[in-house]
Amino acid sequence: MAADLHRLAVSAMAKAHAPYSRFPVGAAVLTSDGRTYSGCNVENASYPEGWCAETTAIGHMVMDGGGRIAEVAVAAQRKALVTPCGGCRQRLAEFGSPDTLVHLCDERGIVETLRLGDLLPRAFAKEDIG
Ligand code: THU
Protein backbone atom coordinates (compact mmCIF):
# COMPACT_ATOMS: atom_id res chain seq x y z
CA MET A 1 0.00 0.00 0.00
CA ALA A 2 2.81 2.40 0.87
CA ALA A 3 4.41 1.58 -2.49
CA ASP A 4 1.15 2.61 -4.19
CA LEU A 5 1.28 5.92 -2.38
CA HIS A 6 4.78 6.53 -3.70
CA ARG A 7 3.62 5.80 -7.25
CA LEU A 8 0.62 8.11 -6.87
CA ALA A 9 2.77 10.93 -5.47
CA VAL A 10 5.26 10.67 -8.34
CA SER A 11 2.44 10.62 -10.94
CA ALA A 12 0.88 13.69 -9.33
CA MET A 13 4.24 15.47 -9.36
CA ALA A 14 4.26 15.17 -13.16
CA LYS A 15 1.13 17.35 -13.22
CA ALA A 16 2.55 20.14 -11.05
CA HIS A 17 1.97 23.72 -12.14
CA ALA A 18 5.24 25.13 -10.87
CA PRO A 19 6.57 27.56 -13.51
CA TYR A 20 7.84 30.04 -10.88
CA SER A 21 9.73 27.87 -8.42
CA ARG A 22 10.40 25.09 -10.95
CA PHE A 23 10.01 22.84 -7.93
CA PRO A 24 7.34 20.25 -8.84
CA VAL A 25 5.91 18.38 -5.86
CA GLY A 26 3.45 15.50 -5.66
CA ALA A 27 1.62 14.10 -2.66
CA ALA A 28 -0.73 11.20 -2.02
CA VAL A 29 -2.84 10.41 1.02
CA LEU A 30 -4.23 7.07 2.19
CA THR A 31 -7.39 7.22 4.30
CA SER A 32 -8.03 4.94 7.25
CA ASP A 33 -10.66 3.13 5.14
CA GLY A 34 -8.28 2.50 2.26
CA ARG A 35 -8.99 5.28 -0.25
CA THR A 36 -6.17 7.20 -1.94
CA TYR A 37 -6.03 10.75 -3.29
CA SER A 38 -3.17 12.63 -4.88
CA GLY A 39 -2.30 16.20 -5.73
CA CYS A 40 0.37 18.51 -7.09
CA ASN A 41 1.46 22.03 -6.22
CA VAL A 42 -0.39 24.77 -8.13
CA GLU A 43 1.50 28.06 -8.35
CA ASN A 44 0.30 31.48 -9.45
CA ALA A 45 1.80 34.59 -11.06
CA SER A 46 0.76 36.30 -7.84
CA TYR A 47 3.20 34.16 -5.88
CA PRO A 48 1.48 33.92 -2.48
CA GLU A 49 -1.67 32.59 -4.12
CA GLY A 50 -0.12 29.24 -5.00
CA TRP A 51 -0.60 26.15 -2.87
CA CYS A 52 1.10 22.88 -2.03
CA ALA A 53 0.71 19.35 -3.35
CA GLU A 54 -0.52 18.09 0.02
CA THR A 55 -3.26 20.71 0.01
CA THR A 56 -4.51 19.58 -3.41
CA ALA A 57 -4.60 15.96 -2.25
CA ILE A 58 -6.54 16.90 0.88
CA GLY A 59 -9.01 18.87 -1.26
CA HIS A 60 -9.65 15.80 -3.42
CA MET A 61 -10.25 13.71 -0.29
CA VAL A 62 -12.68 16.23 1.16
CA MET A 63 -14.58 16.52 -2.13
CA ASP A 64 -14.96 12.74 -2.18
CA GLY A 65 -16.60 12.69 1.23
CA GLY A 66 -13.68 13.33 3.59
CA GLY A 67 -11.96 10.85 5.84
CA ARG A 68 -9.08 10.36 8.22
CA ILE A 69 -5.54 10.38 6.84
CA ALA A 70 -3.53 7.31 7.88
CA GLU A 71 -0.52 7.85 5.61
CA VAL A 72 0.83 10.49 3.25
CA ALA A 73 3.65 10.33 0.70
CA VAL A 74 5.51 13.37 -0.63
CA ALA A 75 7.82 13.46 -3.66
CA ALA A 76 9.69 16.36 -5.22
CA GLN A 77 11.44 16.30 -8.57
CA ARG A 78 14.50 18.30 -7.56
CA LYS A 79 15.05 17.18 -4.01
CA ALA A 80 14.73 13.88 -2.19
CA LEU A 81 13.10 13.87 1.22
CA VAL A 82 10.98 17.01 1.09
CA THR A 83 8.97 17.33 4.29
CA PRO A 84 5.53 19.01 4.27
CA CYS A 85 5.66 22.75 4.93
CA GLY A 86 4.35 24.12 8.20
CA GLY A 87 0.93 25.00 6.79
CA CYS A 88 0.51 21.54 5.28
CA ARG A 89 1.52 19.89 8.56
CA GLN A 90 -1.37 21.74 10.16
CA ARG A 91 -3.75 20.77 7.31
CA LEU A 92 -2.68 17.12 7.56
CA ALA A 93 -3.19 17.25 11.34
CA GLU A 94 -6.79 18.36 10.76
CA PHE A 95 -7.52 15.01 9.08
CA GLY A 96 -4.83 12.82 10.61
CA SER A 97 -3.38 12.03 14.02
CA PRO A 98 0.05 12.16 15.63
CA ASP A 99 0.49 8.58 14.35
CA THR A 100 -0.20 9.46 10.71
CA LEU A 101 2.76 8.19 8.72
CA VAL A 102 4.58 10.71 6.51
CA HIS A 103 6.60 8.95 3.79
CA LEU A 104 9.41 11.01 2.25
CA CYS A 105 10.16 9.77 -1.25
CA ASP A 106 12.68 9.99 -4.02
CA GLU A 107 11.88 8.90 -7.58
CA ARG A 108 12.54 5.23 -6.74
CA GLY A 109 10.51 4.83 -3.60
CA ILE A 110 9.98 5.70 0.04
CA VAL A 111 13.27 6.61 1.70
CA GLU A 112 12.20 7.67 5.16
CA THR A 113 8.99 7.47 7.18
CA LEU A 114 8.18 9.90 10.00
CA ARG A 115 5.22 10.41 12.33
CA LEU A 116 3.13 13.53 11.86
CA GLY A 117 3.29 14.01 15.63
CA ASP A 118 7.06 14.35 15.38
CA LEU A 119 6.79 16.88 12.54
CA LEU A 120 4.11 18.93 14.32
CA PRO A 121 4.26 18.38 18.05
CA ARG A 122 1.46 19.82 20.16
CA ALA A 123 -0.58 20.71 17.08
CA PHE A 124 -3.40 23.19 17.48
CA ALA A 125 -6.66 21.24 17.12
CA LYS A 126 -10.39 21.61 17.44
CA GLU A 127 -10.19 20.57 21.12
CA ASP A 128 -8.23 23.78 21.69
CA ILE A 129 -11.13 25.90 20.45
CA GLY A 130 -13.46 24.43 23.07
N1 THU B 1 5.68 22.67 -1.89
C2 THU B 1 4.76 21.66 -1.84
O3 THU B 1 3.93 21.50 -2.74
N4 THU B 1 4.78 20.84 -0.77
C5 THU B 1 5.70 20.88 0.22
O6 THU B 1 5.65 20.07 1.13
C7 THU B 1 6.79 21.88 0.19
C8 THU B 1 6.64 22.93 -0.85
C9 THU B 1 5.67 23.55 -3.07
C10 THU B 1 5.16 24.94 -2.85
C11 THU B 1 5.80 25.67 -4.02
O12 THU B 1 4.96 25.52 -5.16
C13 THU B 1 7.10 24.93 -4.26
O14 THU B 1 6.98 23.70 -3.56
C15 THU B 1 8.32 25.66 -3.80
O16 THU B 1 8.18 26.09 -2.49
Residue to mutate (ligand 1; options 85, 89, 102, 104; most atoms within 8 A of CB): 85
pLDDT digits (tens, 9 = 90+) for 79-95: 878 999 999 999 999 99
Q: How far is the CA of 22 from the centre of ligand 1 (A)?
A: 10
Say how many residues make up the chain: 130
pLDDT digits (tens, 9 = 90+) for 40-59: 999 999 999 999 999 999 99
Catalytic residues: 54
Q: Which residues, in sequence order, are CB contacts of 97 under 8 Å at separation 6+? A: 68, 116, 117
Question: What predicted TM-score, i.e. pTM, was given to this entire model?
Answer: 0.96
Q: What is the CA radius of gyration of the chain?
A: 14
Whether 41 lines ligand 1, by a CB cut-off of 6 Å, is: yes
Residue 97 Cα to chain centre, angstroms:
14
CATH number of the 2-128 domain: 3.40.140.10
Domain-wise residue ranges, the chain: 2-128
